[in-house]
Amino acid sequence: MSFARTVLLVAASAAFGIATSLPIAHAQQAKSLTVTYANGKFQPSALHAPANTPLALTVKNLNAKSMEFESAALRVEKVIDAKSEGVINLRPLKPGKYDFYDDFGGKADGTLTVE
C-alpha cells in the first residue's frame, strides 16, 4: 500500500469516527424550565437545574408591557413582548449560581442554581 493511500485511509477513518460520534454528543435532551414574569417579579425567583445539561428556559411575560430577560453570567439578552413568551436555549452549564433580571423594569431579579 502506498503512503498516499495509507494517509487517505487514515483520514477517511478519522472523519467517519467523528461523523458517527456527533449524533451521540447532540442526543442529550434539554431540560425544560419555566419562569413567569408578572407584576415586576419572577416566579419562581430561584430556579434549579442539573450541571452539564442543555437547558430550554421558557420565560412567560404576563405583563401588559415588554420585558427584557438579561443575564451577564448566562450571556443572554432577550426581549419578551407583552402577554407572550419566549424560549431561551442555554448551553450545558458548569455548577454555580447564575443571576438574571428584567433589564427594562430594573427591580425583578432571580437566580439559576446549577448543581
What's the average pLDDT block by block, 10 residues per block, for the chain (115 residues)? 56 52 59 95 97 97 96 96 97 97 88 97
Q: Do the domain assignments include residue 11?
A: no
Q: Do the domain assignments include residue 19?
A: no
Q: Do the domain assignments include residue 73?
A: yes
Instruction: Tell me the residue ranges of DSSP E strands in 1-115.
Output: 31-38, 41-43, 46-49, 55-61, 67-71, 76-80, 84-90, 96-102, 109-114
Q: Do the domain assignments include residue 3?
A: no
| pTM tops 0.95, yes or no | no
How many distinct structural domains can be found in the chain?
A: 1
Residue 111 CA to residue 106 CA, distance in Å, equals 15
Residue 27 CA to residue 87 CA, distance in Å, equals 19
Q: Do the domain assignments include residue 83?
A: yes
The domain of 102 spans 31-114
Amino acid (1-letter code) at residue 93: L
Q: Do the domain assignments include residue 16?
A: no
**Which 8-state DSSP code applies to residue 110?**
E
The predicted pLDDT at position 24 comes to 46
The predicted pLDDT at position 4 comes to 57
- CATH code at position 62: 2.60.40.420
Q: Do the domain assignments include residue 21?
A: no
**Which 8-state DSSP code applies to residue 7?**
H
The predicted pLDDT at position 113 comes to 98
Q: Do the domain assignments include residue 26?
A: no
The predicted pLDDT at position 21 comes to 45
